[in-house]
Amino acid sequence: MKKLLYITKIGVAALAVVCSSCEKQLDQLPLSNTIVANDGKGTAGSSITDAAKAEAAISACYGVFRNSAATYYVMDYFLVGDGQSDNSYAGADNPSWFEVDEFRMQSTNERASINWGFLYNHISTANSIIANVPKITDAALTATRKSQIVGEAKFMRARAYFDLIRIYGDVPLVVDELPTITPDNLEEIYPQLYPRRTPVSEVYTQIIKDLNEAATTVPANGPNKMTVTPGVVYTLLAKVYATQKPVNWSLVKENCDKVIALGYSLVPSFESLWDGAHENSSEAIFELNFDGWETGGNWGSDMFYGTGWKKFNTPSNDLVKAYDDEGDAVRKASTIHFMDVTGKWNDKYWSNSYARFPFAAKMRNTSGSQNIIMYRLADVLLLKAEALNESGDTEGARALVNQIRQRVSLGPTPATNQSSMRLAIEKERRLELAFEGHRWFDLVRTDRAIPVMKAVKDGAGNNLNYPISENKLLWPVPQSEMDKNSQLTQNTGY
């Protein structure tokens, strides 16, 4: 009875998961996030019954990127991908991020709990669409549009699960809505409400299944780049195959080639990707569009850029040195801006440089209207170069790396063999994609995180001695989730 009372209490609070963007929905919810409706009947998504409600539901699913899970997608994703890598320090004044940055996380870390919740929120929203849209009989919803909506939701579910397993490892795999919860079926449904962690290999199987089904059904294009199209799906598939062990490099290349064949092209100027005047460009594959505060503004820019207060993701001495060592003035100028913060705050990593303090600058418009490029062609080209090199075609890889370097006025890569090309591609991805949320995941998937992070030095050349180990490559399962679900187990080392 205590179980039933708990579920009933949280049910009313989470009813609007599909057709509105409610914040912090998973603070109290079991992982399935499938809840009894106000009248005691149906599931959270059972209100999706006609064409208009289906469109509202998929709009809400896109809206999660900008509203109910915006803390993850406009801020935390970049701290996860860059802040715990050698690209930046945590910055600002949040103890939870200091723990991430310095590999001191505990299971009670606030960010571990928050981001687990945000990602499952997105999954729940997608699950409701996938479960209910196929049932709609409204003639206004054509079969084609119905398939598109389901395909778009499957992409978003796959993307959220991909981040979950990269951050936490094994996670509960929840893909179904549950029937109405009653005293009679509670014992049957309870294991599904509070599931065990699913092995990463099985989650990958679901991710790939979702993406393969989405690739043939999503819209060919949209009003802007914030539409899940085949190019978006193939990009994620390439990333998934490059991360899944053992890596199937032929499938990485195959999906990169599918993206390239769709006609994306590098913009001539690297700076135009970030200046706000060339958004939804020919290079962008998937881009979160922000118009301003009235429609869910991009407040993430203000978290990384500006001198009003100490910002997050402070560029590291190591990254600045990497640009300087390469003579990469073009990308450095677009990626890092230096400003005078004398008298404003202290910083242990840049203690003697307050007149020239660095800021991550790819999101620099703090009016709330700057878009976020999640996937772009340069990333795909370098991923294809990696696939070619790992398959023995070092010359093919060289051509792609040089294409990227040529845009920023750098000469050909000096790499001469597979091993040196491997490091050249790693470096090129770092300098090209810094502060786009890729670096940490690149280091982990290539088994380079530990040696790279153990070698990081401060501005004076002293080793920072990060206490990184194999156990620290994953975050802990949040203690708050373990307290709610006794079936969960903790990652080794926490």
Q: How far apart are CA 325 and CA 327, in angstroms?
A: 6
Each residue of 371-389: b (16+ CB within 10 Å) or e?
A: bbbbbbbbbbbbbbbbbbb
5-14, 136-145, 402-411, 429-438: segment of lowest average pLDDT = 5-14
> Per-residue pLDDT averaged across 92-120, rounded?
96
> Per-residue pLDDT averaged across 6-25, rounded?
32
pLDDT in tens, 351-407: 888 999 999 999 999 999 999 999 999 999 999 999 999 999 999 999 999 999 999
What six digits make up the tokens of 226? 């914030």
- Report all structural domains of the chain as residue ranges with CATH numbers, in order of start: 2-218 (1.25.40.390), 226-446 (1.25.40.390)
Q: How confident is the model at residue 181 (pLDDT cuts 50, 70, 90)?
A: confident
pLDDT in tens, 421-464: 999 999 999 999 999 999 999 999 999 999 999 999 999 999 99
pLDDT of residue 45: 74
Which helix (H) or strand (E) element contains residue 145? Answer: helix 143-168
Strands (E), 216-272: none
pLDDT of residue 69: 63
Q: How far apart are CA 376 and CA 156, in angstroms?
A: 17
The answer to whether residue 247 scores a pLDDT higher than 70 is yes
Average pLDDT, the chain: 90
Output the pTM of the full model: 0.91
Q: How far apart are CA 405 and CA 455, in angstroms?
A: 26
Contact 481, 171 (CB under 8 A): no
pLDDT of residue 68: 61
Q: How far apart are CA 443 and CA 170, in angstroms?
A: 19
pLDDT of residue 44: 62
pLDDT of residue 24: 33
* Portion of the chain with pLDDT greater than 90, in percent: 83
Residue-by-residue DSSP string for 263-291: T----S-GGGGTSSSS-S-SSEEEEE---
> Per-residue pLDDT averaged across 233-259, rounded?
98
pLDDT of residue 30: 43
Number of other CB atoms surrounding residue 139 within 10 Å: 8
What six digits make up the tokens of 323? 């640009």
Residues near 482 by beta carbon (within 8 Å), at least 6 away in sequence: 107, 488, 490
The answer to whether residue 5 scores a pLDDT higher than 50 is no
The answer to whether residue 16 scores a pLDDT higher than 70 is no
Q: How far apart are CA 100 and CA 71, in angstroms?
A: 16
pLDDT of residue 42: 57
pLDDT of residue 188: 80
